[in-house]
Amino acid sequence: MKVSEFNVTNMVDDIQKQNGKIEDVYFVACGGSLIDLYSSEYFVKRESKSMHSAWIPSKEFVLTPPAHLGKNSLVFVCSHGGNTKETVEAADVAYETGAYVITYTHNPQSKCANSKYHSIVYAWESDTPQEEKPMCLTYAILNELIHRQEPEYLLYDSMKDGIEKIDKIIRKAVNDTTNKAWVFSEKYYNEPFLYIMSSGAAYAQSYGFAICSLQEMQWMDCCYINSAEYFHGPFEVTDENHLYILMMSKGKTREIDERALRFLQKYGKKYEVIDAENCGLETIEENCVDYFNAPLFYEMSVLYRTAIENKTRHPLSMRRYMGVVEY
Amino acid sequence: MKVSEFNVTNMVDDIQKQNGKIEDVYFVACGGSLIDLYSSEYFVKRESKSMHSAWIPSKEFVLTPPAHLGKNSLVFVCSHGGNTKETVEAADVAYETGAYVITYTHNPQSKCANSKYHSIVYAWESDTPQEEKPMCLTYAILNELIHRQEPEYLLYDSMKDGIEKIDKIIRKAVNDTTNKAWVFSEKYYNEPFLYIMSSGAAYAQSYGFAICSLQEMQWMDCCYINSAEYFHGPFEVTDENHLYILMMSKGKTREIDERALRFLQKYGKKYEVIDAENCGLETIEENCVDYFNAPLFYEMSVLYRTAIENKTRHPLSMRRYMGVVEY
């Protein structure tokens, strides 16, 4: 179905009618689509007492599926183009076990849009609101499901409120940060290498910034680090010549990012801080604000990569292999 | 207790006596110690129908503990030095909920060796056998526990057999690979940057090779990639100038590594293959061989970093921050 036909109540009704109690939620995709699902996995792991969760690259899921996968599983599968071979395979592996399979895709003609799955075809335009993109659609479905399965669940209203507010917050934050991103790019677009860090539910946004925005779209070398791991190896390379981007979350894991910042201030020189606390997230309730760093940081990575493209003149859509050669 | 006093039957008796049925297994640590626990988490997720598992950096575990953590949880905590602040905090968070907490440490005087946990103090000498190190100790405990909780579990004997055989296999493989590691280092010790890849249960060995062996111990820049993700972004940087290390697993996820190899053969030029199929793993049963790539690749990373040190003359134990300054 198209997002315009999507109704969270109806979908969760259908999940419960068809599969009863959901005990396991799996998040399965490749690359950027997998990254989109990370914060939802984190959400289930920390907030749900009735469900377990796992975040698994498609081909791993196909070759070594989780032992609990089955009738009481809900599986989120995402493929932007909708035909990524291993992701379609993964959807089928899940489908065959009787799991409830929700596929997200941007392409209504793709394999992921097949009616045998519960497919949601999303728009991906600059004016598409956050609540109609996979990250917030997933939050909405899980929020409704946990609410129904767990009488003691406390985040129901605040998550709904956050999903409603986040689009406007992000648009303003991106606007306010544009000049800062240009200045960053002016200084560093030609840097041979950099590290990108973030924490908690937003960790995968470092991973995505690195592998999608820079490695894939700019052929730039870089590495991603979970801020919680920085002091356990990676920080030994830090010095005044190394470049870092630190995306600081608002919420429970913020102190991890703050510790990394203090170190960079003392021993580094070239570091860019993208701080969620300066981005208007204070109107989202504290008990769930952690989960709204991820969509914010995603849009920040788009802003920064566009600023970098503007200097490098390396088109963001240029590929030498993906969709160009056989592999 | 010392490993010499460890008896898997007694320990699992104690787990079951004190905590009854185990439903969740958590693997919690930082850096190298966290890496040591990854393949066990993969093992539980794929092989156990009675337990769920998660792999979580210590500080994340402290600040955002999993919702299922409690009396029916088994928590493995590892800290080589035994006093890593956030790891001790994590052990205490788990302890307070009534979970069964097993702490591994090399330091009998450390906080992790406190008798309030179920501590196992391991030796870490060149002649310490694999079965007395955290990775295989964890396999042994989980293998026994799954066997008791799940009548249909099929890997019991083959895992035991693998744990027994792996030390000899690895010693021979390391010996056979020494010259190859020297030649690699001779060519590439001065390379400004490289990517390291592996798949499945052995993925974290790429992460460890990067953050411990190279970033921490050689102050070398590098990045780690799950082979299953290589074609979804990272491969766009591949060309004849980029250096890769590909650790190819034996077992179910091998085809993922093989696909990456074919691509490197076609579009790359500088790549080092460390292939578990040439390392004597064929005497381990196919149904569980996947889990023995990790200890093999760990020892390979030690071999390669030592070969690199031999050229760079950058002592593997030299630190500019860790244990030297406050942070």
Q: For chains A and B, what is the number of CB pairs under 8 angstroms?
A: 184
Within 10 Å of residue B81's Cβ, how many Cβ atoms?
14
Q: Which of B153, B183, B198 is the last residue of a domain?
A: B153
How high is the pLDDT of residue A68?
A: 98
| Residue A175 resides in a domain | yes
Share of chain A above pLDDT 70, in %: 100
Q: How many CB atoms lie within 10 A of CB B315?
A: 10
What pLDDT sits at residue A22?
98
User: Chain B interface, mutation test: which of A236, A240, A259, A312, most B Cβ atoms within 10 Å?
Assistant: A236
Domain for residue B38, yes or no? Answer: yes
One-letter amino acid for residue A322 of the chain: M
Task: Identify the three-state secondary structure at position B73.
Answer: strand
Residue B126 DSSP code = T
Tally of domains in chain A: 2
Contact B232/A31, CB-based, under 8 Å? yes
Taking contacts as CB-CB distances below 8 angstroms, the residues of chain B near A85 are: none
Both B185 and B228 in one domain: the answer is: yes
Report pLDDT for A298: 98
Among A38, A211, A219, A301, the residue to mutate for chain B (most B Cβ within 10 A): A211
The answer on B109 and B249 residing in a single domain is no
Based on DSSP, count helices (H) and strands (E) in chain A, helices before strands: 10, 9
Q: pLDDT tens digits, residue range A305-321?
A: 999 999 999 999 999 99
pLDDT of residue B167: 98
Torsion on CA atoms A10, A13, A15, A20, rounded to nearest 10: 180
Q: Tell me which chain A residues have a C-beta less than 8 angstroms from the C-beta of B238.
A: 321
Q: Are residues B203 and B294 in the same domain?
A: yes
Say if residue A7 is in the same domain as residue A149: yes
Interface touch A60/B199, C-beta < 8 Å: yes
Q: Which helix (H) or strand (E) holds A196?
A: strand A194-198
Residues A76 and A218 in one domain: no
Distance from the B5 Cα atom to the nearest Cα atom in chain A, whole angstroms:
30
The band of A135, judged by pLDDT with boundaries at 50, 70 and 90, is: very high
pLDDT-based confidence at A129, cuts 50/70/90?
very high
- Domain end, chosen from B105, B121, B153, is at B153
- B-chain CB neighbours of A270 within 8 Å are none
Mean pLDDT, chain A, rounded, equals: 98
Q: How, if at all, do strands B270-275 and B243-248 pair? A: parallel
Which of A58, A64, A80, A207 is the best mutation test for B, with the most CBs of B within 10 A? A64
Q: Do A232 and B211 touch (CB under 8 A)?
A: yes
pLDDT at B41: 98
Cβ contact, residue pair B63, A211, below 8 Å: no
Digit-by-digit pLDDT tens for chain B (327 residues) are: 999 999 999 999 999 999 999 999 999 999 999 999 999 999 999 999 999 999 999 999 999 999 999 999 999 999 999 999 999 999 999 999 999 999 999 999 999 999 999 999 999 999 999 999 999 999 999 999 999 999 999 999 999 999 999 999 999 999 999 999 999 999 999 999 999 999 999 999 999 999 999 999 999 999 999 999 999 999 999 999 999 999 999 999 999 999 999 999 999 999 999 999 999 999 999 999 999 999 999 999 999 999 999 999 999 999 999 999 999
Give yes or no: residues B128 and B190 share one domain.
no
**Interface contact flag, A321 B235, Cβ < 8 Å:** yes
Identity of the residue in B223, B242, B320 whose CB atom sits nearest the CB atom of A223: B223
**How far is A244 from chain B, CA to nearest CA, in Å?**
12
What DSSP element (H or E) covers B270?
Answer: strand B270-275
User: Which residues in chain A are closer than 8 Å to B319, comparing Cβ atoms?
Assistant: 236
Which residue of B lies nearest to A319 if distances are taken between CA atoms? B236
B87 and B218 together in one domain: no
A222-226 and B194-198: which strand pairing?
A: unpaired
Q: Return the pLDDT at B297.
A: 98
How many CB atoms are closer than 10 A to CB A192? 11
Q: What is the reported pLDDT for B295?
A: 98
> Is B21 within the bounds of a domain?
yes
**A319 within domain boundaries:** no
- Residues in A touching B202 (Cβ below 8 Å): none
Chain A residues with CB under 8 Å of B78 CB are none
> Is A273 found in the same domain as A187?
yes
A241 to chain B: closest CA residue:
B221
**What is the per-residue pLDDT for B59?**
98
- A4-20 pLDDT, tens digit per residue, is 999 999 999 999 999 99
Q: What are phi and psi of B248, to 5 degrees?
A: -95, 125
Phi, psi of A22 (to 5 degrees): -90, 125
Phi and psi of B294, rounded to 5°? Answer: -60, -50
Q: How confident is the model at residue A325, as a pLDDT?
A: 97
For chain A, report the end-to-end CA distance as a whole number of angstroms. 31
pLDDT of residue B235: 98
Q: Give A16-54 pLDDT, tens digit per residue.
A: 999 999 999 999 999 999 999 999 999 999 999 999 999
pLDDT at residue A7, as a whole number: 97
Contact B231/A199, CB-based, under 8 Å? no
How sure is the predictor about A213, in pLDDT bands with cuts at 50, 70 and 90?
Answer: very high
Q: Note whether A253 contacts B57, CB cutoff 8 Å.
A: no
Domain of B182, CATH number, reads 3.40.50.10490
In a domain, B105, yes or no: yes
Contact B219 A236 (CB under 8 A): yes
Q: Which of B118, B153, B188 is the last residue before a domain boundary? A: B153
Domain holding A14, by residue range, is 3-153
Domain assignment of residue B318, yes or no: no
CB-count burial class (<10 Å; 0-12, 13-18, 19+) for A175: exposed
Chain A residues close to B47, C-beta within 8 Å: 67
